[in-house]
Amino acid sequence: MSFLPKTHIHKPKTPIPFITDLKNLHTPDETITLFNDYITTNTFQHDYPSYSSLIYKLARNHHFTAVDTLLQHLHHYNVKPKEPLFIGLIQHYGKSGFVDKALELYRKIPDFECHRSLQSFNALLNVLVQNDRFGDANEMFKGCKKRNVVSYNVMIKGWLRKGDWESARKVFDEMMSCGVEASVVSFNSLIGFWSKRGEFSEAKGVFDEMVGRGVKANAVTYGLLMEALCVDGRFNEAKKLMFDMEYRGCKPRLVNYGILVNDLAKRGEFDEAKGLFLEMKKRRIRPDVVMYNILVNYLCKDGRVGEAYKILVEMQVNGFEPNAATYRMIVDGFCRNGEFDEGLKVLNVMLTSRHCARLETFCCLVIGLVNNGKIDDAWYVMKEMLRRRMSPDLECWEALVGRSCGGESSGHSLLTELVTPSG
């Protein structure tokens, strides 16, 4: 992969044409071609906005080899990058599991004549914690003399992820003794540790400390307390707390209703859960896809897939686009119920919406359709799998091939089509 050298200087006007064109492209090869075309056909010099936009797009597509090449170009042509570019790349490396590349990039930031602040330090610290490199994170944290509340919050979160309350509390107390004021995020991390365990009294103790220190609770804080009550089987108290929080100057948000809906749906009280949606509407709180998916998930688990499908339709009527999880739960639910025709209908809508089912779902549909005598439909699903480079399991192939070789002419022709090399 090569990039053409820069040409003569040209200062583009706003909006920058290259960036506008870049937004309409999807594959890494297209973006790199566009980058080079602008140099050769437009006598255009790519400056920092062009480079950063392309680097971000390539990183989002996990095309890191091209990112490395562009970073070399930045250095070679003395284009001065800004710290947010490196922060974004460190985060993308972390999400892709390339922790060592994130570390290497952090160390190289000064080589680009770019100031390395606590923001990039905190970004790397978080990447280390998220990727279970806690030893490295702790060593880096201890070696940094200047820390802010974000640095401490990352380490508190890291210790809590390991289940080590004592160490997390020690970092919290050190932060306070160093004169760094704890934020609502600091307290929410501590409260969340206890809430997920249903330890309301412990969570409430941290909450009282928070109030005593003059830190104002937010909707997430109250949501965590509500979660602790729900885990402990105290739904009514959780609901009361949601209304009490208004009197304390904090309006209920989506997160608070989500906790109540999740608890009701988990216990099979779907009518009550749907009632909360009506209550949200009165309060002008708009649900999101995640909220709808809570109902879809538990309805499907309860075998009430037809009702779950109605929720999907309701989502669309209300202007929400179902995501991949919505479709997957419903297709899987129909398969578990043996309603393979209905599952296929939803799969078709899913594929049209550019979402993809899991391999297990495809295979389950194929086998179910074959067993119901729907050979053509089964072959259709098989072709969709292969188009997406998914490998059917042995049971899936055996079901299809066995039935096709049993005299189904359409199956024979499709089998020939699939196994015959093209060209």
Average pLDDT over residues 308-335: 93
Please report whether residue 163 resides in a domain: no
**Length of the chain as a residue count:** 423
Q: Do the domain assignments include residue 171?
A: no
pLDDT digits (tens, 9 = 90+) for 356-372: 889 889 999 999 998 88
Q: Is residue 127 part of a domain?
A: no
Q: How many domains does the chain have?
A: 1
Does 280 score more than 90 pLDDT?
yes
Asked if residue 377 belongs to a domain, the reply is yes
User: Apex CA 296: angle with CA 361 and CA 266, to 5°?
Assistant: 115
Backbone angles phi, psi at 395, to 5 degrees: -60, -35
In a domain, 69, yes or no: no
Residue 409 lies in a domain: yes
Please indicate, yes or no, if residue 39 is contained in any of the structural domains: no
Q: pLDDT per residue over 6-25, tens digit each?
A: 444 445 455 555 555 555 55
Asked whether residue 391 is assigned to any structural domain, the reply reads: yes
Burial (CB count within 10 angstroms: exposed 0-12, middle 13-18, buried 19+), residue 80: exposed
Residue range of the domain that includes 371: 358-423
What is the model's pTM?
0.81
